[in-house]
Amino acid sequence: MRLIKLWIAAIMLVGSSIAGAADGVAILNAQCSDCHNLTGPAPATLQELWSRKGPDLFYAGNKYKAAWLEAWLQKPVRIRPAGMFFADHVKPGADGDEIDAATLTAHPALFAPESNAVTAALMALKGNPDLITGGAYTQGNLSLSSGEMLFDKFKGCLACHEIEPGYGGLSGPEVFTAAQRLQEDWLVSFLRNPHAWDPMVFMPNKHLNDADIRKIIDYFRLLSEEVAQ
């Protein structure tokens, strides 16, 4: 019995030292590059856009928060309610379009040591550095209701983005987790000019001014605080 326990301990030690040496770049190239663009540039034609299987990751280090990446890669949950291309995953229902869940596949998950290594490799991908200004966002004090007025009534963002599970448009990523996922400096830059990051993105440039951009980022923070409760 004692011997078996020793053996198990020895095997676990070997296992963890192999995992400890997980090579994030090698995992990205072997397991992720079929679906994700790791080198840039972003799709510049409709054909390239249609062949995109997952979000571009060549500027991951300028876009995502590392803590979120590391956790999500171990337990991926859906961010775009209808996948990459809305039209591929909706069917007509009694109350308008419904998501055809059977056509959506689960994202591959990583174990903790691999996720840690892959997160480090992703955070080193710093595409489009010239579009980022460090410290571009400073927190304001907005109320949830004025944030929603801006996001829905004034700017029409709700048509494509969910502000809570099951409420909002289905063609873009949910925004109630945006504050956990996305760096504020990236949000400032993307909201100012989405097409500088992703020339073919199906998101209109609403020409938000600096005050609106700050309010929208404040709003995302308030939304994520609400969802976390």
The 10 Å CB-count burial string (b at 16+, else e) for 125-161 is bebbeebbeeebbeeeebeeeebeebbeeebebbebb
54 is a contact residue toward ligand HEC (CB under 6 A): yes
Closest contact distance (angstroms) between CB of 9 and ligand HEC is 29
CB of 125 to ligand HEC, least distance (A): 11
Residues 93-122 that bind ligand HEC (CB under 6 A): 107-108, 110, 118
- Gap between the Cα atoms of 81 and 58, Å rounded: 23
**41 near ligand HEC, rule: CB under 6 A:** no
Q: Of the two residues 79 and 98, which places its CB atom closer to ligand HEC in the complex?
A: 79
Of the listed pieces 1-9, 129-137, 158-166, 221-229, which binds ligand HEC according to CB under 6 A? 158-166
The rounded distance, in Å, linking the Cα atoms of 194 and 95 is 31
Task: Using DSSP, state whether 28 is helix, strand or coil.
Answer: helix
CB of 113 to ligand HEC, least distance (A): 13
Residue 105 structure tokens: 């596949």
DSSP annotation of 106 reads P
Rounded-to-integer distance, Cα 217 and Cα 219, Å: 5
Residue count, binding to ligand HEC (CB under 6 A): 42
Q: How far apart are CA 165 and CA 162, in angstroms?
A: 7
Nearer to ligand HEC, 6 or 140 (CB): 140
Give, in degrees to the nearest 5, the angle at Cα 22 between 127 and 3: 165
Binding residue (CB under 6 A) for ligand HEC from 25, 38, 79, 200: 79
- The residue within the footprint of ligand HEC, chosen from 38, 74, 144, 173 (CB under 6 A), is 173
Of 204, 198, 228, residue with least CA distance to 46: 198
3-class SS at 27? helix
201 in contact with ligand HEC (CB under 6 A): yes
Our finding on whether 46 is near ligand HEC (CB under 6 A) is no
Q: Which residues bind ligand HEC (CB under 6 A)?
A: 27-28, 31-32, 34-36, 53-55, 69, 73, 78-80, 84, 107-108, 110, 118, 155-157, 159-161, 171-173, 175, 178, 182, 187, 190-191, 201-204, 206, 208, 216
